[in-house]
Amino acid sequence: MTTASTEPTTKRRRLEWLRPPQGGPGGTMSLYDHLRELRYRVTIAAGAIFLSAIFSILFYRQLVSIIMAPWMRARTALEAARPDANLMVVNNGVTSSFTFAVVLCLVAGVMLSVPVWLYQLWAFVAPGLVAKEKKYALAFIGAATPLFLAGCALGYYVWPKGIEVLLSFTPQDMGITNMQDMAEFLSMEIKIILVFGLSFILPVIVVALNMAGVVRGYMLKRWRKGVIFGSVVLAAVATPTTDPFSMLALAVPVSGMFLIAEVICRVWDKKRGIDEQFVAEFAIDLDDGK
């Protein structure tokens, strides 16, 4: 009887790492339990990404077609404008094809498992938040996710134009062949897509900081010109390409969304009774007090 009763207990202990630790009242945990939960969340997220990457192997040819579609579009447009253009995609080295396949499947795994690892991130943070903070956090995730995907889609859409502009600098009628390595092309395309995607969530971060009381609407009004100029500089520095089309395609939407974020922050401050006149009078009183 003793042996039979201890076997389920032993099995539960072995499989204990598969379940997150239970917190106390209000989501309180010890440091050790926090580390255990972090290990659990990371393990589940990494497992989901790995399984999704394995699953994406079944659609490897379709993934390659999606990744190389911007190159094909740019090549078609460039060859139509310059019939003498010589363009070629190559794999340099013995391991280049394998590296390309691994990176591509991992990227596909990250995209396919977005709901899983986003939930794990939320589940790790949520126990320490009060009900009001949870509502704001859910709103933040709900707004940031479509904006991030929209930015990625815009980056994917404008990328062929960037390729076309960059390759157009090749001297004509000199027999020069443009050879593009697939692994390098994939790396640059991922950077373009991520830069656009992350830039699109910056306004959401501004609104979140405003709700947290870190920045105010009147501050954003004073920073408007500097932020617009900074958006252009960010676009010029962050985009891996050097063409003006990609830079403007990133700078214009980010600047526009910042203006929308400014309006939202000022309306939110007005509802909370924090208006520009009050802040200005308060600043004058501080100066007189000095």
Structural domain ending residue among the three candidates 170, 192, 214: 192
- 153 lies in some domain: no
Structural domain ending residue among the three candidates 147, 175, 192: 192
246/104: higher pLDDT: 104
- 9 lies in some domain: no
- 4 lies in some domain: no
pLDDT score recorded for residue 286: 44
The answer to whether residue 17 scores a pLDDT higher than 50 is: yes
Each residue's pLDDT tens digit, 63-92? 999 988 988 888 888 888 777 778 888 888
pLDDT score recorded for residue 282: 45
Each residue's pLDDT tens digit, 188-225? 888 888 888 888 888 887 777 777 666 777 777 777 77
Q: Which domain holds residue 272?
A: 201-290
Nearest to 47 by CA among 112, 125, 127: 112
Same domain, 176 and 271: no
- 23 lies in some domain: no
pLDDT score recorded for residue 275: 58
Percent of the chain beyond pLDDT 90?
Answer: 8
CA distance linking residue 230 with residue 258, whole number of Å? 11
What is the value of pTM for the model shown? 0.70
Task: Provide φ and ψ at 94, rounded to 5°.
Answer: -70, -40
Same domain, 108 and 233: no
Q: Which residue has the tokens 């889609």?
A: 153
The answer to whether residue 236 scores a pLDDT higher than 90 is: no
- 252 lies in some domain: yes
CB 126 within 8 A of CB 134: yes
Same domain, 208 and 187: no
73-77, 103-107, 117-121, 286-290, range with the lowest pLDDT: 286-290
Residue 279 — pLDDT band, cuts 50, 70, 90?
low
152-190 burial, b for 16+ CB within 10 Å, e for fewer?
A: bebbbebbbbbbbbebeebeeeeeeeeebebbebbebbb
Same domain, 185 and 246: no
The kind and range of the H/E element at 94 are none
Same domain, 187 and 217: no
pLDDT score recorded for residue 61: 92
Same domain, 164 and 68: yes
- 68 lies in some domain: yes
The answer to whether residue 55 scores a pLDDT higher than 80 is: yes
- 144 lies in some domain: no
The kind and range of the H/E element at 19 are none
The answer to whether residue 283 scores a pLDDT higher than 80 is: no
Strands 86-90 and 177-181: what pairing?
parallel
Same domain, 231 and 251: yes
Same domain, 221 and 100: no
Mean per-residue pLDDT over the chain, rounded: 76
Count of domains forming the chain: 2
Same domain, 80 and 210: no
CB 254 within 8 A of CB 235: yes
pLDDT score recorded for residue 173: 72
Cα 263 to Cα 141, 210, 252, distances in angstroms: 20, 11, 17
Cα–Cα–Cα angle for 125, 24, 122, rounded to 5 degrees: 15
96-100, 114-118, 129-133, range with the lowest pLDDT: 129-133
pLDDT score recorded for residue 54: 94
Same domain, 171 and 231: no
pLDDT score recorded for residue 201: 81
- 254 lies in some domain: yes
pLDDT score recorded for residue 128: 64
As beta bridge partners, residue 87 has 178
Each residue's pLDDT tens digit, 147-189? 888 888 888 888 888 788 777 777 777 777 788 888 888 888 8
CA distance linking residue 63 with residue 153, whole number of Å? 15
The answer to whether residue 14 scores a pLDDT higher than 70 is: no
Nearest to 180 by CA among 61, 67, 102: 67
Q: What's the longest Cα–Cα distance across the chain?
A: 90
